[in-house]
Amino acid sequence: MGSLSEGDISPDPFIQFRVWLDAEVREGLRLPAAMIVATATRDGRPSVRTVLLNGADERGLVFYTNYESRKARELAENPAAAALFYWARSGRQVRAEGVVVRTSPEESDAYFRGRHRDSQIGAWASRQSEPIAGRQILEERVRALTEEHRDHEIPRPPYWGGYRLVPGGFEFWQSRPNRLHDRLRYTLDGDRWRIERLSP
């Protein structure tokens, strides 16, 4: 069982997050970048789902999705969101809360070009979150799109791209015996991060 002390962490939560994420990657954890993202409508009705983290730096945490999906519609109404990473093997979790903004079209284009071709086709075939009469309709769309784009590069759909969660706060949690866990919270105070310990 690990421990988490103020003297052992980086004053920068993005660096600390990277340290923990890299440790999970080295351990061979399946999908260490799985990020649970919570959004809410304008009137506060919440929803939550798992996405993949595709970038993390001092600007924020990046994921990609359909701009017509439920989460995208909610973010258009209410840009406040929260994210959670949970790594059971090491007994760690990281929470981040902040405001979500779209990445630039150039960033979205660059990421889309690097995706597997099947995933590119999938982005065109799926109208995410919309009802569909049957699986066969989706599979037929995939077949038609595969044939249509067989001999050329697949462009990014105009309704697909990236979001960046810009955190104003982080919490790093390390499990300890007797449920007396370590919880350290980073809060952005002007241009610097303030760190404080929370009761478990």
Q: pLDDT by residue for the chain (200 residues), tens digit each? A: 578 999 989 999 999 999 999 999 999 988 999 999 999 999 999 999 999 999 999 999 999 999 999 999 999 999 999 999 999 999 999 999 999 999 999 999 999 999 999 999 999 999 888 899 999 999 999 999 999 899 889 999 999 999 999 999 999 999 998 889 999 999 999 999 999 999 99
Give whole-number Cα distances, 25 to 63, 84, 124, 167, in Å. 18, 17, 30, 23
The secondary structure element, H or E, covering residue 193 is strand 192-197
166 inside domain: yes
DSSP-derived letter for residue 12 is S
Q: Dihedral of the CA atoms 17, 21, 26, 32 (nearest 10)?
A: 180
Looking at residue 130, its pLDDT comes to 87
- Point out the catalytic residue in the list 89, 179, 185, 194: 179
Residue 181's nearest CA partner among 172, 192, 191, 190 is 172
**Strand-pair partners of 99:** 80, 166
What span, in angstroms and rounded, lies between the C-alpha atoms of 22 and 29?
10
Looking at residue 1, its pLDDT comes to 57
Total domains present in the chain: 1
**CATH code where residue 108 lies:** 2.30.110.10
97 inside domain: yes
- Whether residue 179 lies in the annotated active site: yes
125 inside domain: no
147 inside domain: no
95 inside domain: yes
Looking at residue 157, its pLDDT comes to 95
Q: Identify the domain containing residue 65 by its residue range.
A: 6-115+157-197
CB neighbour list of residue 183: distance below 8 Å, 6 or more residues apart: 171, 172, 173, 197, 198, 199, 200
Q: What is the end-to-end Cα distance of the chain in Å, rounded?
A: 16
127 inside domain: no
141 inside domain: no
174 inside domain: yes
